[in-house]
Each structure stands twice: as C-alpha cells, then as structure tokens.
Structure 1
Amino acid sequence: MRLSDATAGTLPDSIAWGGYDRHAQRRGIVHLGIGAFHRAHQAWYTDAAMAAGDRDWAITGVSLRSPQVRAQLAPQDGLYTVSERGPAGEAIRLVEAVRAVLVAPSAPDAVAEALADPDTKIVTLTVTEKGYARRPDSPRDPAAHTAGPRTIYDYLGEAVIARHDRGAGPLTLISCDNLAANGATLRAGLAEWLDAVSPRHRAWFEQGWACPATMVDRIVPATMPADLDRVAAATGLRDEGAVVTEAYAQWVIEDRFAGPRPRWDVAGAQFVADVRPFETAKLRMLNGAHSALACLGLARDHRFVHEAIADPAIRPLVERLMRAEAAPSVAAAPGQDLARYADLLLTRFANPALPHRLAQIATDGSQKIGPRWLEALADNRAAGRDSPATLTALAAWTGFVRAPGAAADPMAETLAARWAAAGREGIVDALFGPAGLFGAAGALADAERAFVTARLEEHRAD
C-alpha cells in the first residue's frame, strides 16, 4: 500500500510523528523549489513546531520545473518520511507539514494565488545558487522577465504587487541556499525586478518585507530505489517521497521577520542577530570541503563522500583546507568553535550509512567555487596566508570541467569553449586571470595561477 492519510494509521509504533490535526492547519508557508533538502530540513523543522503546538504553518510546496515531486507526494496527501541514518542505526519520522505541491509551469495562477493568500506569512526558497541568476557570464536582466523560463523574481515580484493591491500585508522571504549574504542577494534581485517592472511597488517592498539571512546545514543525498525499498520494509507502506539524511541538522536565521514565525527553535534552529560567521564557516569549511572531495574523489574513481575522505591521498588535503585555510578566514562569533566544527565535519563525511554521491556535489560548480574557495583565497592572500590545499582543489575542478558533459553546470559550454581556445597552458589565466571569466573578484595572484597550472600539468591525461 502507498503512504497516505488513509493508511498512515497502520504505521508501526517505531515510526515517530507529530500527532497534530494536520487538516485543521491553514497554509502559512509557501516553499519555492521543493526537493529532498527542503523535505529533510525546513519542512522537518516546521513539522516539529506544529507538533509542539504551533498552528497554521502548513506548507504549499512549489516545484519550479519538474512535476516529479508532485507525482511523489500528491498520491500520498503530502505525507512522507525522513530517515536519519548513522553508524548506530536508523530513526524514521513521518512529516505531515506539506499540504499541497504545485508545479509552477503548469499552474502559474495557483502559485500566484498561494503567494497572494492573506494566510501566507513566509516564503522559503531552495532554488540552488543558479536560481539567483548570479552567473558571471550572464548578468541578470529584470526587464526581460517576460521572456523564457520564469524566475523566482517573477513569482515574488508579482506577489509584491498582488499583496499590496489586495491589502494582504508583507511577507518574510527566507533563502535557504548556500549563498553568502543570501537574504541580501534575494532582496537586491527582487528590488531590481520591481524597479524594472513596477517601480511604485518597490517602496512598499522596502518598507515592510523582510529577507533575513540564513545558514542551513544537513547532508541529504539523493534518494535511491534501494532507499525506498528499505523504508517500505521498515514502515509496511510504499513512500515514493521518502528522504534519507543524517541525524545532524542546523539552521541559523537572522531574527528579522515581517510578521509571525513558527517556533523552529523547538527543533534546534537558532535565531541570531548576525548570521555571517556561521554562514561563512559553513560555506568555506563544509561546502568547500565537499566540493574538494567531489573533484579530487571523482578523479580517483571514488563514488561517495565516505570513500573519498577515507583515501589517504585526499583526507590530509581536505583536512588542511578546512583547518588551516578555511577556518582562519572566518571571523568566528563568540563561542563558535571552528576546530570542533572541523572535527564534527570529518566524522559526518565518514558516515558509511549515508552514501552521498560525489557526482551530486559536483554539479553547478561554477556557481559554487566563488563563495566556497575564491573568497577564502582572497582573504588568505590579503592576510599573507598560503592556500595550497584550496588551490589544489581548484586545479582539480579546472580539469574536471574540461569536457562539457563532465557535470551538470549552467556554464558547461562556456567552460569547454575556454578550454578549447586557451589549452592547458592558458586555461588558468582564461578563468582566473585579471581579465578571466570569473572577473576581478575571482582573479588569482600570479604565483597562485602558476601553482594551479603546475597541478594541471602533473595530472596531464592527454
């Protein structure tokens, strides 16, 4: 049998769930980009808040492209399970927070109505780095909002207009993506859209809407068929929307809201005045190490994170990247123990119960290396600190993207064209020189470019 409202009562006692009346809750949150991470993170936190007594925070999930998640969850009335796996075993929880899933390309009016609904108070987003249109070779053009695929700014900008004209009140928009200053990035993009499309509504947006910065952290590998079979064996029900994750979860949120918010802190979320130290540590230590493991591990024919971190040729380099290069570039908050954080990350990476595919991490690398590596390199360069581990990872990525089909990346064709034009001897200058693809902010010093070029020569495959 398939998991649903009608069958959930048959779940064994070993499966945890909130026990609240989910159908009595109004939908207070719209989430853009519903996928595995959202289901294991923001929806999981929201479910815990409603289980603790909060009301009217049910979620309308929006898929911006694929109907896959709707096909998974709609027959299940939005229900799904989260399996937390570690060396000591597994714990499964039923999550009841998602009430509907909309597919934006086929139901744009329904998405617009959900965003304009007076009951909606918060919009959360997991649209990946490229969803914010920050490609260095393709500046955002808000005036072209009607051409091609619709962006987050189209949906949110139209929501600003509709809510103003209906008197529905402002929203809190919470980016949950791995971007430095993600709230400010979202706010600036939406302000540009309003300037181009409806300038008179920008003032209201600036006055009342909130875009707090956040840091999110939970390792959520892609769910595989074997995972679904394992969940079915444990629950007695088929759950096509199941997600697997680790027991660890972290969510740090700037405490700046336009209206009410759920008590996400009952599940451990932190509301703070300044997210930046947590955000920078996560981007440079966890995400930076992940990207290094992906590029270095795939080059040595590893498939999973736990295999790559166990490789004696890779682990010391990744550990140096975290402890000696990324951590010194972080202005830590009081009580933020970066050495302990590195210890915890190494333990999480080595978890064999949670196979995390390196190929999944390697996607969209051109959007990730700026906040994960290039910004740390710039800070260390200014402080007179060398960064050989980060530069070695950057060399591995540079070689990795030579073939246009190496990984899914919005700049794959551009990168392959640069390789074809510049060759191995010139590619580092073409990407990271003063006039390179990544611009002045991503430019390396002469000695750093020479180091990366030498590493490419060491691994010459042609």
Structure 2
Amino acid sequence: MILTSQTLSDLPESILTSPYDRDGVTAGIVHLSVGNFHRAHQAVYTDRALALPGQSGWGIVGMGLMDHPAEVAKAEALHAQDGLYTLRECPPNRPDTVRVVKSLVEYMHAPADRDAALKRLTDPAIRIVSMTVTEGGYYMDEAGRFMTEHPAIAEDLHRPVPHTAFGMMTEALRQRREAGITPFTILSCDNVPSNGDVARNAVLSFARLRDPELATWIEANVAFPSCMVDRITPAVHPADVARLDAQSGVEDRVPVFCEDFIQWVVEDSFPAGRPAWDQAGVLFTNDVEPYEQVKLRMLNASHSTLALPGVLMGYRLVDEAMGDEHLAALLEQFLRHDVEPQLTAPPGISLPDYATQLLERFRNHAVSDQLLRITSDSTSKLPVFLRATAEDVLQKAQDPRRIAFVLACYCAYLTGRDDVEATFAVTEPRLSAEDRALALDPNPAKALDMSVFAGWGLENSAEFLTRFIQTREDLKTRGTAAILKDLVANV
C-alpha cells in the first residue's frame, strides 16, 4: 500500500497513528535540515502534542538546505507522501512498533526555490525555527569563533537571498522586523554543548557582518533556548528501505527506524509560544547543561570510543562490536574511571544506572547502528564529545591510557584501512589537507598538531604523550585487538 494522506485510513491495524485530524493542522514550526534524527525525535514529540486540545497550529514545515541528489530525492519522496513516513521503534526485548508520523505537514527543498523558502520563514504563523545541521554545521573554529572567512559564509554575505541556515534566518528576521512581525524563536537541536548559545553566536555573527543594527535588534528580541536530545537513529540504506517496507506492509520511500528510548530536555524560553511538548514527554528546565554533559560525555563519547577501534578491528555494526568482550570492557572502564568521576548528576539521574542502560542500548540487535555513521565527521565530534573528559583526566593526573588509545585509533581510522587491510569510507568533510598530512606523518607525535586537538593541552602531559606515541606505533605492528586486550586487562 502506498503511503499518502488518502491511504491513512486504510493502514494495517498493527500500525499506530496519533489521534488527530491532520486536515486541521497548520504549520507553526519550520525545521531546517530534516534528517532521520529529526523525524525520529522532535517530529515524534510534536506528533504527540498535536493530539492534544488546542495544538493544531504547531505542524512542521520541513526545509532541506543542501543542493544534493539525495536531498532532492528526499524532497520528491516526502512530496509524494504528503510529508508522511513510517517510524519503526525497536525495543531490545519486545516486538517492534510501527507508527506513521503526521506532524510534517509540508516539505520544501530550499535550493529549488529560495525565494519561496525565505517567504515561508517570514510567515507570521511560524513561531519557531528549529534545526539539526550537525555538530560541524555552525561554522565555529576550535576557539568558538564564527568562521567569517569560510567560503559559504563569505558568499552568503553578498547574496540577496542567502543559502546557509544562518543567512536565511538572519534575512527572514530582517524582513519580519521591517514588516512588524514578531520574531521566531531559534531552537538548535544538535549535539553541541550549549547549543542555544552556539546558535545565537552564529546568527549574531552573521547579522553583524551584514547589518549591525539588525544584529542589535536580534540580540534584544530573539530567544535561543538550549536543549539536549537523545535517540539512537541509524542511517537508512536502500536495503533497509526494502526491509522496513516488507515488515510494515506499507510502501514508504523514506522510512526511519530507531531505538525505543527517547529523551528531550529543553530550556523553557519561547516568547512567541511553543507546542505543549511538556505534556508529550519533554522535560523543561532552567538549566539544560547538567543533562547535556551527561549525554555528550557518556553516550556520545562512548559511541566514538567504541566505533573508532571497532572499525579498525573489522566490525561495522554497533551491536556486533558490543559482542566483543574487550570493546565492551573498554566502554565500561571508560565510563567508570574516566567519565563518571568528572560529572555531577542532574536531578533524578544515577550515573552508574545511566551507564548500565547506555551499554544495553548499544547492545540492541534490532537497531544495529552503523559504526561508520558514528565515526563520520569525528574531526568535529571529538572536540565536542571527548575533549572535556580528556582535559579532566590529564589535569587530575589520572590514567590517560584509554584517552590515548581512542585518539590513536582516530588517527589510524583516517587511513581508511582496518587491521586486515580492508578499506572503508572515511567521511571527514572538515578535515583539511594539512591536518590529514599531520595524521599520516611518520612522526606519530605530529598528529597532536592537528587542529582537531587545538587547545586540549595533550602535549603538556608527558605520560599521555608517551602512551599516545607508543599506541600509534603498536597499532601498526600489533593491531588494534591485541593492544585493546592488554589495555582492558591492566586497569
């Protein structure tokens, strides 16, 4: 059965839908860059909220930003399906559930008609503009400064209709200001510490370059709440599409699957209004940072700690890697000895219990997340996920071996070859040629001069430096598995 608005009433009984009339829903949110995570997370919470009384004005307009064939195909599929898609939620020890998510009421591919995309952002009905543009998509350098010389930004500053997320939002706010329309709230939903502050920095930096007076107005009138998001959502490949559609009995060109766990913690700062997300499972708080630190430093850092050596050892799926006793032990020791001592748990969270639940989530065979999805863009991810823990470990003169091991594995991963000489794709869009040359330099210590490690202070620890250099040499001669076995045996 083809999925469209007309076939919603004919869905198999096993497929769930939220009980609201979609024909009565209008858009109040524009989401920039609609990836699988957004469709498994924020769109789900909004789908729940739309089923509540008085919430029909909070539908989502999805807006694709990239001029790429895959983005064109996604837009065509979502147009054909009226924004509908199936979401398979996969618990570890219970049957899966499949639902059709209805909250994406419109989809626009901005490169196809940039004027129309900008006009949508100036619609008074749009009160929130949210985004998932990835950790590296904020044009911030290692010191947290906006990259004003980046070609995409430099070109955008001279365009009447900007192409980047920050250019589009700035121009839309300018037009709303001139028309006397209330500004929208800007909500970053990316895995970035203090993502609201980072989004504010990016927008204000762009606006100051384009129109300083506008920047002053934005600073005084636009809210940038921070939030923490969590749900493991694998990439969907063509074989997954065929599998998911066969399982559901629905012909869906853009299905999504994910774990059953979901969490969203949001700073409650929405002067233009927001959906009743608090009645749909979202936790609102005045201080997101403690929750954010737990998630970034435990879940995201553990993902990288597992994926980088896992790929070198020949694994390609998270649950398979977790079946390796030494990789599992590495994560347990990393969480217990390196991460937990540096964190203060937010209200209602036990760090040991969180760690135990986290490892169970990674073992979920039904999700089978791809390690290469996790290793992709490690150049942007490691400073966000691992740096703070590394700094704490070194400053307190704690055992640096696990940190040295993971960072050495990152350098080895950049070669694109695992321990048995099988090749794999290295997706590092923000790795410069200079940094790549440093990673491959015959002197293993040269890698610490890469921009990804700028400011970490790694070179100031003699013990770390010794461990890092030795591990890099051992990876070439002994292999990842042998080094890891010794590492976890000597705690």
d(CA) in 2 for partners of 1:430, 1:290 = 24
Deviations 1:67-90 (A, max 9, x none): 132122110001111110123111
Q: Residue 29 of structure 1 corresponds to which residue in structure 2?
A: 29
Q: How does 1:152-167 map to 2 (within 5 A)?
A: 152-167=165-180
Q: Is the 8 A contact 2:380 2:452 kept in 1?
A: no
Shift of 1:223: 1.7
The structure 2 residue matched to 1:82, chosen from 87, 101, 119, is 87
Q: Which letter does structure 2 place at the counterpart of 1:73?
A: L
Q: Is the 8 A contact 1:3 1:238 kept in 2?
A: yes
d(CA) in 1 for partners of 2:267, 2:399 = 32
The structure 1 residue matched to 2:304, chosen from 279, 285, 291, is 291
d(CA) in 1 for partners of 2:384, 2:344 = 15
d(CA) in 2 for partners of 1:129, 1:414 = 21
Shift of 1:280: 0.8
Shift of 1:194: 1.0
d(CA) in 2 for partners of 1:306, 1:403 = 22
Shift of 1:59: 0.7
Q: Which letter does structure 2 place at the counterpart of 1:58?
A: G
| Alpha-carbon distance change, 403 to 350 in structure 1, aligned in 2, over 3 angstroms | closer
The answer to which of 331-340 and 179-188 deviates more is: 331-340
Q: Is the 8 A contact 1:325 1:380 kept in 2?
A: yes
Q: Is the 8 A contact 1:131 1:151 kept in 2?
A: no
Q: How does 1:378-389 map to 2 (within 5 A)?
A: 378-389=391-402
Deviations 1:216-268 (A, max 9, x none): 00000012334333443344320112100111000000111122111112331
| Alpha-carbon distance change, 72 to 316 in structure 1, aligned in 2, over 3 angstroms | same
d(CA) in 2 for partners of 1:408, 1:109 = 32
d(CA) in 2 for partners of 1:233, 1:439 = 48
> Do structure 1's residue 224 and structure 2's residue 241 form an aligned pair?
no
d(CA) in 1 for partners of 2:370, 2:247 = 24
d(CA) in 1 for partners of 2:462, 2:370 = 34
TM-score by length of 1: 0.94
d(CA) in 1 for partners of 2:290, 2:177 = 35
The answer to which of 287-296 and 328-337 deviates more is: 328-337
Q: Residue 423 of structure 1 corresponds to which residue in structure 2?
A: 442
d(CA) in 1 for partners of 2:110, 2:29 = 16
> Do structure 1's residue 360 and structure 2's residue 376 form an aligned pair?
no
d(CA) in 2 for partners of 1:236, 1:371 = 40
The answer to which of 211-220 and 201-210 deviates more is: 201-210
> Do structure 1's residue 107 and structure 2's residue 118 form an aligned pair?
no
Q: Residue 457 of structure 1 corresponds to which residue in structure 2?
A: 473
Structure 1, gaps ≥5 residues long: none
Quote the RMSD (CA, aligned, Å).
2.1
d(CA) in 2 for partners of 1:371, 1:235 = 37
d(CA) in 1 for partners of 2:147, 2:178 = 27
Shift of 1:169: 0.6
Q: Which letter does structure 1 place at the counterpart of 2:90?
A: R
| Alpha-carbon distance change, 105 to 446 in structure 1, aligned in 2, over 3 angstroms | farther
Q: Residue 434 of structure 2 corresponds to which residue in structure 1?
A: 414
- Percent identity, please: 34
Q: Is the 8 A contact 1:429 1:449 kept in 2?
A: no
Q: How does 1:435-454 map to 2 (within 5 A)?
A: 438-441=453-456, 443-444=458-459, 445-454=461-470
The answer to which of 319-328 and 192-201 deviates more is: 319-328
The answer to which of 442-451 and 321-330 deviates more is: 442-451
The answer to which of 9-18 and 340-349 deviates more is: 9-18
Shift of 1:385: 2.9
d(CA) in 1 for partners of 2:452, 2:241 = 42
Shift of 1:442: 5.6
Q: Which letter does structure 1 place at the counterpart of 2:9?
A: G
d(CA) in 2 for partners of 1:70, 1:49 = 25
| Alpha-carbon distance change, 106 to 9 in structure 1, aligned in 2, over 3 angstroms | same
Q: Residue 41 of structure 1 corresponds to which residue in structure 2?
A: 41
d(CA) in 1 for partners of 2:131, 2:82 = 22
Q: Which letter does structure 2 place at the counterpart of 1:320?
A: Q
The structure 2 residue matched to 1:332, chosen from 345, 349, 364, is 345
Q: Which letter does structure 2 place at the counterpart of 1:351?
A: N
Q: Which letter does structure 2 place at the counterpart of 1:438?
A: F
| Alpha-carbon distance change, 384 to 295 in structure 1, aligned in 2, over 3 angstroms | same
Shift of 1:3: 0.3
d(CA) in 1 for partners of 2:412, 2:321 = 18
d(CA) in 2 for partners of 1:27, 1:276 = 30
d(CA) in 1 for partners of 2:234, 2:130 = 20
Q: Is the 8 A contact 2:186 2:224 kept in 1?
A: yes
Shift of 1:139: 5.6
Q: Is the 8 A contact 2:297 2:385 kept in 1?
A: yes
3-state DSSP class of the match of 2:130? strand
d(CA) in 1 for partners of 2:275, 2:340 = 32
d(CA) in 1 for partners of 2:179, 2:471 = 59
Q: Is the 8 A contact 1:221 1:354 kept in 2?
A: yes
d(CA) in 1 for partners of 2:105, 2:448 = 50
Q: Which letter does structure 2 place at the counterpart of 1:62?
A: M
Q: Is the 8 A contact 1:217 1:249 kept in 2?
A: yes
Deviations 1:386-436 (A, max 9, x none): 34222211111121114598511123333322234x3243333323xxxx6
Structure 2, gaps ≥5 residues long: 418-423, 479-491
Q: Is the 8 A contact 2:458 2:464 kept in 1?
A: no
The answer to which of 335-344 and 149-158 deviates more is: 149-158
Shift of 1:281: 0.9
Shift of 1:327: 1.9
Q: Is the 8 A contact 1:143 1:193 kept in 2?
A: no
Tell me the number of residue pairs that the alignment of Structure 1 and Structure 2 aligns: 457
> Do structure 1's residue 126 and structure 2's residue 132 form an aligned pair?
yes
d(CA) in 1 for partners of 2:374, 2:50 = 32
Q: Residue 52 of structure 1 corresponds to which residue in structure 2?
A: 52
TM-score by length of 2: 0.88
d(CA) in 2 for partners of 1:102, 1:359 = 29
d(CA) in 1 for partners of 2:377, 2:293 = 19
| Alpha-carbon distance change, 118 to 154 in structure 1, aligned in 2, over 3 angstroms | same
Q: Is the 8 A contact 2:157 2:209 kept in 1?
A: no
The structure 1 residue matched to 2:261, chosen from 248, 259, 263, is 248
3-state DSSP class of the match of 1:348? helix
| Alpha-carbon distance change, 429 to 18 in structure 1, aligned in 2, over 3 angstroms | closer
Q: Is the 8 A contact 2:72 2:109 kept in 1?
A: yes
d(CA) in 2 for partners of 1:9, 1:236 = 14
Deviations 1:41-93 (A, max 9, x none): 00011000001232211111011112132122110001111110123111011
Q: Residue 69 of structure 1 corresponds to which residue in structure 2?
A: 74
d(CA) in 2 for partners of 1:428, 1:282 = 28
Shift of 1:379: 2.1
